[in-house]
Chain A
């Protein structure tokens, strides 16, 4: 048991580990202390001077972020003096702020707006012209910087120093002329840029990707796990169910990722939107004519084909590692357990460097559930090595290949090439999200799948830790199913048609 201290916070006794700041303790106790520069994932800067609290017996207000709680300390966050300090701190932050909320992406999730409602609500006293600063600066691939909106909290500067260790940002000039920026001729160049948009408490850093696409109050966010690599960052997916569209991913504090996520992961929504998705099931009739069908039609077609062959020798399964452990279980229970097929292969990227790691979050294994797939294979009594097995599929002699494609084609540079190769085989049923499967004229059979924010289940990350998907969005594609639902439908069809 580590040493603890007990102090009073707004009259209530609070016990925290020694060394805890009043800010941290207040967060634990759900006591709101307004702040801009303090961030749980960064060092203490103590510059916004917003988090002023009263410590009984001390002459001046102190900042909660740099104040360690000590035994017997009597801290109040809501005295008239503290409240006045909060209001004034906010006013100082706002006097030169452009107040361009109507055209600012941050509106709706902006610290200045939120705090104005909670500690402000004053009449502005600013009667003079404001300080003007550079706007719309291109400081990096994913970023647009507006230094006029900036409140100089220095979170971004500390992020670049402490997290990415690139030191790419600095504060130039001084006083109210100070601006955030990159060094002359340089830009931010790393895979973690959009975190700056998240940690920026105002609209100074906006995301080039998200900019002007949607007002945030129309979005719903649901927790999920990023499917982009084997780290398994906890994320929130932001979508708009009414229009069946997705807009962005943001990191949610989690064991695997702390406060951050990478820019590659940020794009793990773009494969979910309808324009790039397989929207209907496909079958091909006896005359070789391909047609759109519904889910039941595709299942019937596939059911018939499987019934016409000896599955144990004639059906092969090609599986990628981007689906949930629960899905793999139902997949193998059926194909291996019930149908007795032996030909199970993995769809992996030939160029992948599975052990690569950038030292922060991003891993070379671009599959969220390699661990889950390997243990499901083992459970099913199959060889569970990591290998790319397209050649093995092609030479397996299977008459029917079920290809469960990677969910996110962009993580597989050879996706289209492999797709082309597979369409050369006798009959491949693609279970996929990728619209390009239908675009390929040689595709004979396809079933649309649900994406990760649309299903429940588990990804096992590289450390063997489970990440849960448990609060699904409605699937934008009417016929979209997860593997468990496809298997259930196939079983149902076989049951009602007398085959076992």
Chain B
């Protein structure tokens, strides 16, 4: 068990520094040291180090990063690709944007190290379209890195070649799903691809491709620089390291918090964020972005912020977006905006998701309009249950999980709404 209260900052190390985003600031504060160290290692050793560090994908699924990298066929002569998934769109999440804001070079360095590890010479950053400022900052950073020789045909004289292009999406949530992102990057409609084959074998343009979340890649330079053992001293055994948490809701200080995994959620809310605004009490909490099943205030007691502890409560750490639902908020409205979002964003290729998200939204429209039916709760539960685990990507599950948990845990409130045709 590592330190779950450490103050070490990895991905937000440049938070608040003057001229934080500049290459000079980055290099003066130890930037690109991880890359230089990686070049003294064998690519396989880099992968092993990331594996040993226990770094898990920060986009939501929490898949071990080193293991993902090791799936790329070693004897493949390329081209292979590293893609930075910066299409941050899970409702409640604003951490990748913050990393870009703090220092985009950390992302570039992580990508170059990842490219070196798997033998890729090309990387793409796929950024959410509405991150107008962040897109500019990233592109400036890429230019700076080229000028300083961190990118190009012969990086730092090592002979390693790595190029990064930047691509802005068009605003679809589904393009944050890794294969949806690949389709979009290929110039196609943003629809997830059927798996197998997985992207590590056949991804972008049918070539071996690793898609990693921005936060994951940004943590890589620190791990290489300080070593896997140092990384493992923070967080829990199975969830080592730090993670960004995006706290929103009626707390005194909402925002991005970099905390070690295993950090107590009550400490975050009550101490770091200063507690609830006067007059509001916690009613519920969505702990990992809108796709995560909701937790009641009761369930937050003693809860720690790591993959295992939240999974044990039947929810998930997800992207680390902690949304505090207070007692002024209507669960009917919460469910309505949630299902509306997934209905709007479903790509529509898989039937259970295309029809299921629409059906849920349709029922919620009825309930909101005072036309709810007594068996709507049961029906929504059944629809959700049959949307889960049935589709190519997880969007269907992402719509089903919160719906199921809200109708289960707050069924009485919704039933009351249906009965009255309006909020009590």
- Asked if A452 CB lies within 8 Å of chain B CBs, one says no
The interface bits of chain B over 346-366 (1 if a CB of A lies within 8 angstroms of the residue's CB, else 0) are 111111101111110011011
Set of chain B residues within 8 Å of A89, measured between Cβ atoms: 351-352, 390
The interface bits of chain A over 253-272 (1 if a CB of B lies within 8 angstroms of the residue's CB, else 0) are 00000000000000000000
Contact B355 A47 (CB under 8 A): no
- Asked if B392 CB lies within 8 Å of chain A CBs, one says yes
- Asked if A202 CB lies within 8 Å of chain B CBs, one says no
Q: How far is the CA of A126 from the CA of B356 in the complex (A)?
A: 11
- Residue in A50, A84, A125, A177 whose beta carbon sits within 8 Å of that of B351 in the complex: A50
- Asked if A175 CB lies within 8 Å of chain B CBs, one says yes
Set of chain B residues within 8 Å of A127, measured between Cβ atoms: 363, 366, 373
The interface bits of chain B over 366-383 (1 if a CB of A lies within 8 angstroms of the residue's CB, else 0) are 100000010000010010
Set of chain A residues within 8 Å of B196, measured between Cβ atoms: 66
Contact B359 A152 (CB under 8 A): no
Set of chain A residues within 8 Å of B352, measured between Cβ atoms: 49, 88-89, 92
Minimum distance in angstroms from B200 CB to a CB of chain A: 17
Set of chain A residues within 8 Å of B379, measured between Cβ atoms: 125
Contact B349 A154 (CB under 8 A): yes
Contact B194 A176 (CB under 8 A): no
Contact A95 B194 (CB under 8 A): no
Q: Is chain A's interface secondary structure helix, strand, loop, or mixed overall?
A: loop
Set of chain B residues within 8 Å of A276, measured between Cβ atoms: none
With both beta carbons as reference points, the residue of chain B lying nearest to A151 in the complex is identified as B351
With both beta carbons as reference points, the residue of chain B lying nearest to A68 in the complex is identified as B196
The interface bits of chain B over 176-211 (1 if a CB of A lies within 8 angstroms of the residue's CB, else 0) are 000000000000010000101000000000000000
Knowing A88-B386, A92-B352, A175-B357, say if A46 contacts B392 (CB, 8 Å).
Answer: yes
With both beta carbons as reference points, the residue of chain A lying nearest to B194 in the complex is identified as A46
Set of chain B residues within 8 Å of A48, measured between Cβ atoms: 350-351
- Residue in B359, B389, B392 whose beta carbon sits within 8 Å of that of A95 in the complex: B359
Set of chain A residues within 8 Å of B358, measured between Cβ atoms: 96, 131, 175-176
Minimum distance in angstroms from B290 CB to a CB of chain A: 16
Minimum distance in angstroms from A439 CB to a CB of chain B: 54
- Asked if A128 CB lies within 8 Å of chain B CBs, one says yes
Contact B348 A174 (CB under 8 A): yes
Q: Is chain B's interface secondary structure helix, strand, loop, or mixed overall?
A: helix
Set of chain B residues within 8 Å of A137, measured between Cβ atoms: none
Q: How far is the CA of A52 from the CA of B388 in the complex (A)?
A: 13
The interface bits of chain A over 54-94 (1 if a CB of B lies within 8 angstroms of the residue's CB, else 0) are 00000011000010000000000000000011001100110
Contact B390 A85 (CB under 8 A): yes
Q: How far is the CA of A46 from the CA of B192 in the complex (A)?
A: 11
Knowing A49-B391, A96-B358, A131-B358, say if A176 contacts B363 (CB, 8 Å).
Answer: no
Contact B351 A49 (CB under 8 A): yes
Contact A47 B345 (CB under 8 A): no
Contact A44 B346 (CB under 8 A): no
Q: How far is the CA of A333 from the CA of B108 in the complex (A)?
A: 85
A–B Cβ pairs within 8 angstroms, 18 of them: A45-B349, A49-B351, A49-B352, A49-B390, A49-B391, A60-B389, A89-B352, A92-B352, A92-B359, A93-B355, A95-B359, A127-B373, A131-B358, A174-B189, A174-B346, A174-B347, A175-B345, A176-B355
With A46-B392, A128-B359 given, name 16 new contacts (CB 8 A).
A47-B349, A47-B392, A49-B350, A66-B196, A85-B386, A96-B355, A125-B379, A127-B373, A152-B348, A170-B189, A174-B174, A174-B189, A175-B345, A176-B343, A176-B346, A178-B354
5 pairs of A and B residues whose beta carbons are closest in the complex: A176-B358, A178-B348, A92-B355, A88-B386, A175-B346
Interface residues of A (CB under 8 A from B): 44-50, 52, 60-61, 66, 84-85, 88-89, 92-93, 95-96, 125-129, 131, 151-152, 154, 170-171, 173-178
Interface residues of B (CB under 8 A from A): 172, 174, 189, 194, 196, 343-352, 354-359, 362-363, 365-366, 373, 379, 382, 386, 389-392
